[in-house]
């Protein structure tokens, strides 16, 4: 029986020693997590939103360009039915060109290719030219051409080119376009 009490005596210090060493390790770990460095104040860094990617206005204009391509395709097939009229002839020339430019622009911008910027500008300017010629052809077919109607046509032509210029200016000046369309 003496051996059993000796074994109990020798086991008790080991268990106590293990328990004390476990508490010390836990306290050191807690101190590491909650200790604040006294070297200086905490600095917070605000990350700027990345301008890379087809987002925001670029995404909006890309979707509009896709819808424009669909509309110009429909205009082309509508112009085939009225090929004998002068406005049908203008549409049969310009509508497929603008539709191809629009669809190609959407694909290239989605692939983030730099040439998409130039095709977008070409599509906007070609579209403005198309509407200008269409206005001139329609106005020349009318028998009555009073000054008020002519001023309206000239105003419409200016508006076409101002809108096309502003949309093209976005593709020239925009930081998002410059950072996204790089290849």
Q: Number of structural domains, the chain?
A: 1
Is the model's pLDDT at 30 over the cut of 60?
Answer: no
Q: What is the pTM of this model?
A: 0.70
pLDDT of 144: 76
Cα torsion through 9, 10, 12, 15, rounded to 10: 180
Is the model's pLDDT at 19 over the cut of 60?
Answer: no
Residue-number span of the structural domain to which 168 is assigned: 56-180
Percent of the chain with pLDDT over 90: 56
Residue 96 forms part of a structural domain: yes
Residue 49 forms part of a structural domain: no
Q: Write the pLDDT tens digit of every residue in 70-103.
A: 999 999 999 999 888 999 999 999 999 999 999 9
Torsion-angle region of residue 158: left (phi > 0), alpha (psi -120 to 50) or beta? alpha
| Residue with the two structure tokens 């629009």 | 102
Is the model's pLDDT at 25 over the cut of 90?
Answer: no
pLDDT band at 41 (very low <50, low <70, confident <90, very high): confident
Contacts of 143 (CB under 8 A, 6+ apart): none
Look over the chain and give the mean of its residue pLDDT values, rounded to a whole number.
83
Residue 6 forms part of a structural domain: no
């Amino acid at each position: 029986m003496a051996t059993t009490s000796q074994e109990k005596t020798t086991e008790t210090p080991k268990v106590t020693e293990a328990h004390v060493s476990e508490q010390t390790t836990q306290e050191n770990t807690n101190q590491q997590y909650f200790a604040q460095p006294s070297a200086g104040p905490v600095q917070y860094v605000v990350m700027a939103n990345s301008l890379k990617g087809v987002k925001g206005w670029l995404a909006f204009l890309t979707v509009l360009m896709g819808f424009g391509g669909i509309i110009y395709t429909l205009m082309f097939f509508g112009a085939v039915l009225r090929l004998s009229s002068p406005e049908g002839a203008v549409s049969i020339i310009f509508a497929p060109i603008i539709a191809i430019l629009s669809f190609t622009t959407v694909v290239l911008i989605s692939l983030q290719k730099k040439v998409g910027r130039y095709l977008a500008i070409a599509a906007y300017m070609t579209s403005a030219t198309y509407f200008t010629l269409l206005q001139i052809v329609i106005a020349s077919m009318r028998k009555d051409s009073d000054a008020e109607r002519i001023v309206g046509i000239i105003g419409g032509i200016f508006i076409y080119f101002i809108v096309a210029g502003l949309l093209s200016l976005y593709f020239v000046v925009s930081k998002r376009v410059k950072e996204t369309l790089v290849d």
